[in-house]
Chain A
Amino acid sequence: MGAPAMTGATMVDPNTAAIARYRNNFLQEVEERVEEGKWVKMCMQCGVCAGSCPFGPHWEHSPQKIFMMIRAGKRDEVLTSDSMWMCTSCYNCVVRCPRQLPITQIMHGLATYAHQLGLAPKMQPTRDFSLQFWDNCTKTGRVNELKLTLGLYFKDGLVAGIRKAWDMRSIGLGLLKAKRLNPFELFGGHRCKDRKGFAAMLKKAREIEARRKTGTA
């Protein structure tokens, strides 16, 4: 997972490039570029996924609708939808799909693709959290809980952050007392032993992903 700016040195915006390449055939684009996207055409529109999703009422489009929209070529609506960001990976839909579609994987694949093209909804909370989490843990090889928490508190600005921190103060103090929260983590914090190795691992993973996308893996 990389931010849009990291995807390449080319000057062409990846979204524009994708549009140019696939013109109207969004289904083909999904099939070729989205993880497990080749399954989308196999959906038979029974709606069992939509009925099984615990988040059903809380997102814009059910998986059933997303798949239908892909076939109908509704590129912008799909890629800017918040739906795939709301998936909690409970796998209820995958278990129940009579056509055995890997729905959870497809939803994550679509989220990743939308993110790579810079189309994902900007302030969508789960997307924001994912970004912060990724940055946080890739820096040191460990998740810095204090920094992650503060980052989430202050995501909507200084005032909102202070208000949020104030609201949560009793929990914070309790954690301090129980020695579950170390305020010095704010200054660097602990890290994994082999940071170079960790960085190399991530680099390798990115290479594999890139290779897979260009079809050379």
Chain B
Amino acid sequence: MSEMKTAAYLCAGCGLGDVLDAGQLEKIAQKEGKMHVVKRHAFLCSAEGVQTIRDDIAKEGVTHVMIGACSRRAKTEAFHFPEVAMSRANLREGVVWVVAPGSEHDEVRQEMANDYVRMGCAELKKMKVPAGNPDAAGNKRILVVGGGVAGLTAAIEAADTGYDAVVVEKEMQLGGWAAKLWKRVPFRAPYDGPRDTGIADLVMRVAGHPRIKVHLHSTIVETAGAPGRFTVKVARESGEVTEERVGAIVQATGFSTYDLAKLPELGGGQDNVVDQAGLEALARAANGRAIRRADGKEVASVVFVQCAGQRDESGTHLPYCSGHCCATSIKQAMYFKDTNPEVDTVVLYTDLRVPGMGEDFYRSAQDKGVIFTKGRVAKVAAADGACTVHFRDLILDEDVAIDTDLVVLATGQVPNSGVDIDLPDEDAAKTRQVSILNLNYRQGKDMPQLKYGFADSHFICFPYETRRTGIYAAGPVRRPMDMQQATDDATGAALKAIQAVENAAKGQAAHPRAGDLSYPIVRLEGCTQCKRCTVECPFGAIDEDEKRYPVFNESRCRRCGTCMGACPVRVISFENYSVDTVGAQIKAVDMPDEFSERPRILALACENDAYPALDMAGLSRTVHSAFVRVIPVRCLGSVNTIWITDAINAGYDGVMMMGCRKGDDYQCHFVKGSELAQERMGKIDDTLKQLGLESERVASYEVAITDSRRVARLIDDYAARIKEIGMSPLKGFA
């Protein structure tokens, strides 16, 4: 694109024409914006209006389009011109709908609209049409790590959808835990008893599927590459290494049971105390007849102890609930009752948790005569060929002891998530964890973990997503779950993997900027090798070459711009989003002088939550101060501190940063963006002090997408605060 031809289109629909002086806007686009073409339309998103733009692109050679109409989040289908660069001046949600109505506000409203047109034009001139990821590669095979229920389901789902799958399983046979069960919990009505696991069928389907290749007794010794071009070295137990080329990976490595030896007070280690997996083994040995203990005695009474080493508040054992164990104990109690109703089966629980239709299953067990007692177990003691369970009855509020032939402890799921890459090396050595993926990424061998060692994922906003693009976690490695949930989970992860390979092949970003063709471009001549981008990238996309320069793996990139925000020498940019595109907007705003009593507040709003919240404020006509100028950013993580410095120097009276919630229950779409922004802004305080400015001149806020009313109030409160501390003394120097 050698010749740049810019065009501005101003809409007068949706009431814009009634309250704004379109002539003035046009003049600004022409004189200040220096747009080659400026057109006004009464209803720009109509077929006719859109056609005007299309014609100009096709016949007049327009390469850059500025649309002054509604929010960039509205009418995206009408204003879809992928062949040109486009900016949007938000005159509807951003001005007309949020500035108080009435002619007394005409002046400030018009000033705001003028500024947005200036900003739109300024941004546009710094933009280029994204060309798509040069790193694009089209391998569409899907690697599934783990051959349990989740892994096999993911492989089948991918293969049935038409994608080749490769399964790597470390054991000699497929099936995982499911193959070690006697029966499973019912998935659908009637919830009257245990069902066959169905795992044999699933294994057969996988083994016989023409699109699925299986590596048994194998582990992964190295994973290299990016979505669309992963190279995975699979090693058999014998030492033989095979290289598999795949486009995406589903990690379904499941869980291990909590070590019984860590529960001596609950009888862990005693002959007549087993965990749930141990009871499955006994039930399989009994093969439908009466269940016998290891010593051969037929079990006449059994006590199930729920939450054994789970939901532990003391910090010794697992702090979380594994979710499946109540239903599993119910199922196992039925193993006894279904063969012999005379067997005493007692389930000792503190809270019986049977989500979904499990409640019906619970009822069936009660109907079969399983006794449920709300009690907290204090101790399981060995007693003359049996066990004595000492517990506190929480309903009758008394200490009770019962003798029983067998005790089953409901222990929790411990995720097989590999090494914790966030641990310092000396601590990591102590845990003796073994890596699963052996990624050759600069940031570590496995996926980052979120909580309690589970593979990272924000399970409400983006289930299955991890912080490694093209690698998706499914099943109990992601969060504790049962077979049915693992099946659903695996299906979701398989679809995610398919999306990833498809996007990668087209050179597009994956979630949450799916379809984005821009990618980070680095001017290596200017790089100082500070490594901030490689360290701070939330997705481990950036490696390092032998000369210690960053290597951007574009296919692993989510296009959040965190690297751009991190770079102290500002050599990282996107074609349509850069230090310049935002910087130009900041500088384009017309700055009234110090004595005008019209302050200017810059709001850098995250486009994922804060900007939609602002749009919704407009939609509900929640008015706020007209002194604010909002610039959407991809993520607060992409905010480079130069923008703040520029704004202060340009004479802005305050800067508001609006991002997502950070911390443990973060809502940041790019995981670390808002947190990093907060950290970087800590340094802004010093800059402000040096300039003799109040620290309140830069403020940051956590805004959720639902905060439409709150966000308007935040702006008003901040404007009031600025009024109190007074106008910036730096106006007119820039």
Contact = CB atoms under 8 A, between A and B. Distances in A.
A99 B373 contact: no
A65 B396 CA distance: 7
B606 to A, nearest CB: 43
B369 A68 contact: no
Contacts of B400: 72
B396 A44 contact: no
Nearest to B346: A71
A12 interface: no
Contact of B396 (A27, A41, A72, A99): A72
Contacts of A27: 371
A149 interface: no
A67 B670 CA distance: 53
B367 A44 contact: no
Contacts of B367: 41-42
B396 A68 contact: yes
Interface string A47-75: 00000000000000000110011011010
A45 interface: yes
A106 B377 CA distance: 30
A19 B374 CA distance: 26
Nearest to A98: B359
Contact of B366 (A44, A64, A65): A44
A65 B395 contact: yes
A115 to B, nearest CB: 24
Contacts, number: 32
Interface in B44-65: none
Interface string B106-136: 0000000000000000000000000000000
A168 B10 CA distance: 93
B366 A42 contact: yes
A68 B393 contact: yes
Instruction: Label chain A's interface by main secondary structure.
Output: helix
Contacts of B362: 44
Interface in B359-412: 362-363, 366-367, 369, 371-374, 393, 395-396, 400
A10 to B, nearest CB: 29
Contact of B372 (A44, A64, A69, A74): A44
Interface string B348-368: 000010000000001100110
Interface residues of B, number: 14
Instruction: Label chain B's interface by main secondary structure.
Output: mixed
B352 A44 contact: yes
Nearest to A28: B369
A71 B362 CA distance: 16
Given A44-B352, A44-B362, A99-B363, A71 B373 contact: yes
A211 B363 CA distance: 30
A41 B352 CA distance: 15
Interface in A1-34: 27
B316 to A, nearest CB: 28
Most interface-central of A69, A72, A74 (chain B CB within 10 A): A72
Interface in A81-114: 99
Nearest to A31: B369
Contacts of A69: 396
Given A44-B352, A65-B395, A65-B396, A72 B373 contact: yes
B373 A68 contact: yes
Most interface-central of A27, A44, A65 (chain B CB within 10 A): A44
Given A71-B373, A72-B373, A41 B395 contact: no
Nearest to B368: A41
A27 B371 CA distance: 10
Given A41-B369, A44-B372, A68 B395 contact: yes
A42 B393 CA distance: 18
Contacts of A68: 373-374, 393, 395-396
A45 B395 CA distance: 8
A65 B371 CA distance: 14
Nearest to A67: B395
A25 to B, nearest CB: 9
A64 B396 CA distance: 10
Interface of A: 27, 41-42, 44-45, 64-65, 68-69, 71-72, 74, 99
24 contacts: A27-B371, A41-B366, A41-B369, A41-B371, A42-B363, A42-B366, A42-B367, A44-B352, A44-B362, A44-B366, A45-B372, A45-B395, A64-B395, A65-B396, A68-B373, A68-B374, A68-B395, A68-B396, A69-B396, A71-B371, A72-B373, A72-B396, A72-B400, A74-B396
Given A41-B371, A42-B366, A45-B372, 7 more contacts: A41-B369, A44-B352, A44-B362, A44-B372, A68-B393, A71-B373, A72-B373
9 smallest CB-CB distances across A and B, nearest first, come from: A68-B395, A42-B366, A41-B366, A45-B374, A71-B371, A68-B396, A45-B395, A65-B395, A41-B369
